[in-house]
Chains A and B, each alone.
Chain A
Amino acid sequence: MRTLFQFNGGVHPAEHKQESSTQDIACAPLPTQLIVPLQQHIGQRAKPLVQVGDSVLKGQMIGQADGATSCAVHAPTSGRVSAIGEAPVPHPSGLPDLCITITPDGAEQWVERTPLDYQSMSPTEVRKHLRDFGLAGLGGAVFPSHVKLNLGKLAKVPTLILNGAECEPWITCDDRLMRERTADIVAGAKIMQHLLNADEVLIGIEDNKPQAIAAMRAACADARFEVIAVPTLYPSGGAKQLTKILTGKEPPSGGRSSDIGVQIFNVATAYSVARAVLHGEPLISRIVTVTGNVDQPRNYEVLLGTPVKELVALASPRNDTQGYIMGGPMMGFTLPSDAVPVTKASNCLIASSPKLFPPPPPALPCIRCTQCAQACPVNLQPQDLYWFSRGREFGKAQEYNLFDCIECGCCDYVCPSHIPLVQYYRFAKGEIWAREREKQQADLARERHEFRLQRIEREKKERADKLAAKTQGSKAPSANAEADPKKAAIQAAIERAKLKRAGVMPQNVENLPVETLKEIKEIEARRAQLKQAMEKQPDTPNS
């Protein structure tokens, strides 16, 4: 029997798992359109490979990985590309992002699928394929898997952990996956073990999922993978928390788990690795729990890009549904609209209603009761972080390890004053990142400015030297004579541009081609916008 370790704190919110965990995974029907964001992973957005009007096959790569931390996106079904442009995406900001919209033709015609003989390939080659299969962590963090599977200079990562804890309330997609698609999860784990050269494979599952544990144990018996039931305690499914529970090891503050010889993946990621490597199927669908204020909560296998609206309709949301939470109630966020698509990160959609998720009572001042510190799984001092973030003392917040905060919400959950603590941490992190970006820009500007000064200095000198050489050799050219034609040329150009501008301004432009008219309109609109912005600027100081 393995000795388990315990992380600090944690909370035990109502589980709400049984609502959606009793029925098997259903296949969501083909939606009317698929909106595929090019950025579904952490890192660089994928580069589009298709054009509007192109026909695509199911599984065809439509966005190419761009840079080291990036992965591909694929057409989830066969059809035609009907649009490429900004569309709403599941993000707390509500800002749109670049998406490829596909109108399905209903034929579901696949590209050629070629399984990989991964054992005879070099790990680098396999990882390249995983990148092109679009694999990213399906637990919600969507970090490109091929990056995590890179050994780099290491000979091996001794411990591979599969995360099947699924500690957030309401979510049951991993539970159902482990019960129903056990074999492929285990096969995926074997591939990952091979790539990482790992000695042991540990699979951690919270003990509130006995069927999943039993199924996984049965399938792992001959692979000699160890399936470990861990006590149900939120957030045991946090990567660092599960690592601590299973191995007793903790990566250093700001460090990575590979620093301590551990790499951790979600069970659904292992499943998708097996589908990709053994069946040649890129990541075009995932299991999504649809639950909350609906009449028929259930898990669905959903094509990525399916509009949330069409998916949740399958579960019959009740009339008082107010919106949808993506992810769990602890770490998820309310979707800006139900027009956004399901992405690689969408593990769960919870229909919310005022009855199910009543608004928090008005907040009170912090009484420094330190209940938050007792609950924090990362051993932080949430009340201090709150204080510094609130006072915009970002340097102090960083000193108190703000960036180790996993935004699990345990502190929020226990705070008797109902302070939205995590919102403060997100705010502080955002400000710190923005300052970091500003600093980088300032450094670039300083460098370029200094370079320019040097260049001007050099040019001045060169000119002086040339002049000196010339005056010695032949007669000195008059500086004025040189300047005058230049001035005249500029003046002439000004006149020309004035004429040109006058020609652009008039509205009686009937006999111009349509495109030119459109262009003029666009430019005019932009100008008007700019003018407005310029006028507004003085009274909107940046805070």
Chain B
Amino acid sequence: MSTALLIMIGLALFLGLVLGYAAIKFKVTESPLVQKIDAILPQTQCGQCGFPGCKPYATAIAAGEADINQCPPGGEEGIRKLAELLGVDPKPLNAEHGAPKPKSVAVIDENLCIGCTLCIQACPVDAILGTAKHMHTVIAKECTGCELCIPPCPVDCISMQVVQEDLATWKSKYPLYAIRSA
């Protein structure tokens, strides 16, 4: 019994070390350009760019293997920032990868959820809470709106809800007023 325990503890320690080491090594080897590109990408982690997440797309851009106009959540502004960073001309979003949408969050219909945990496995940011056979819930604050949890749901109980403006997020609009032509 105690040997098993010791082995487990040893294993945990060893894995922890490996992880820590990997993390450090990963940080060091990652090029600063990738980091700068990744900082511009919206981190929705939706994969619409054709890569399994923002970091892989950033890596591909840095390596010259992907164009800068493949991220719909980043929109025109994201492309402009990437163009600025890389010193190239901005171009319109490649429609093949989708169109920008207003910020939404996933909502699980509590009445239909069967607690299968498939959405939890799909969520790239662990924004879904729940255990097997129990109702699942989305933590709205952490949901990026990537829609990856929608296809795996066997009972179609997840839908996207557009985030409404409230007093905390309200912004003054672009001024509109009469202009006299000079």
Contact = CB atoms under 8 A, between A and B. Distances in A.
Interface of A: 39, 89, 91-93, 95, 97, 360-365, 420, 423-424, 426-427, 429-431, 433-434, 437-438, 441-446, 448-452, 454, 457-458, 461-462, 465, 490, 493-494, 496-498, 500-501, 504, 523, 527, 530-531, 533-534, 537-538, 540-542
Most B-side CB within 10 Å, residue of A437, A458, A465? A458
B111 A362 contact: no
Nearest to A367: B182
The SS class assigned to the B binding surface is loop
A95 B171 contact: no
Contacts of B42: 438, 442
B180 A427 contact: no
B142 A448 contact: yes
A542 B166 CA distance: 17
Contacts of A365: 182
Contacts of A443: 43
18 contacts: A93-B165, A362-B178, A424-B175, A431-B171, A434-B169, A445-B144, A446-B54, A451-B126, A465-B11, A490-B154, A493-B114, A493-B154, A497-B112, A504-B112, A523-B109, A530-B161, A537-B104, A540-B102
A533 B175 contact: no
B44 A445 contact: yes
B85 interface: no
Most A-side CB within 10 Å, residue of B45, B162, B182? B162
Given A427-B173, A442-B42, A93 B167 contact: yes
Contact of B174 (A427, A444, A504): A427
A494 B114 contact: yes
B182 A454 contact: no
A325 to B, nearest CB: 17
Contacts of A92: 172
Contacts of B126: 448, 451-452
Most B-side CB within 10 Å, residue of A423, A441, A446, A540? A446
A495 to B, nearest CB: 10
Given A430-B171, A446-B38, A454-B23, A542 B102 contact: yes
Nearest to A448: B125
Interface string B145-182: 00000000011010111100111011111110111101
Interface residues of B, number: 56
A542 B102 CA distance: 5
Contacts of A424: 175
Contacts of B99: 538, 541
Given A442-B43, A445-B144, A448-B127, A496 B180 contact: no
A364 B180 CA distance: 6
Contacts of A429: 172
Contact of B154 (A444, A451, A494): A494
A450 B27 CA distance: 12
A444 B142 contact: yes
B154 A537 contact: no
Interface string B46-88: 0000000111000000000000000000010000000000000
Contacts of A451: 126
A87 B111 CA distance: 30
Contacts of A457: 19
Interface of B: 11, 15, 19, 23, 38, 41-45, 53-55, 75, 99-104, 107, 109, 111-112, 114-116, 118, 124-127, 142, 144, 154-155, 157, 159-162, 165-167, 169-175, 177-180, 182
A90 B180 CA distance: 32
Contact of B155 (A437, A497, A533, A541): A497
Nearest to B110: A523
B172 A530 contact: no
Nearest to A444: B142
A241 B169 CA distance: 30
B171 A433 contact: yes
Nearest to B23: A454
Given A89-B167, A361-B180, A434-B169, 5 more contacts: A364-B179, A365-B182, A434-B171, A449-B45, A497-B154
Nearest to B124: A449
B100 A426 contact: no
A67 to B, nearest CB: 13
A498 B155 CA distance: 7
A484 to B, nearest CB: 16
Most B-side CB within 10 Å, residue of A97, A423, A531? A423
A465 B145 CA distance: 35
A363 B114 contact: no
Contacts of B127: 448
B177 A363 contact: yes
A401 to B, nearest CB: 18
Contacts of A434: 169, 171
Contacts of A497: 112, 114, 154-155, 157
Contact of B100 (A39, A433, A465, A541): A541
Nearest to A386: B175
Contacts of B174: 427
Most A-side CB within 10 Å, residue of B38, B99, B115? B99
A452 B125 contact: yes
Top 10 nearest A-B pairs by Cβ distance?
A430-B171, A362-B180, A426-B172, A423-B175, A497-B155, A445-B43, A442-B43, A362-B178, A448-B125, A493-B114
Contacts of B170: 91, 93, 95, 430
A530 B156 CA distance: 13
A95 B167 contact: yes
Contacts of A93: 165, 167, 170
B29 to A, nearest CB: 15
Contacts of A89: 167
Contacts of B112: 497, 500-501, 504
A541 B155 CA distance: 29
A393 to B, nearest CB: 11
Contacts of A430: 170-172
Nearest to A430: B171
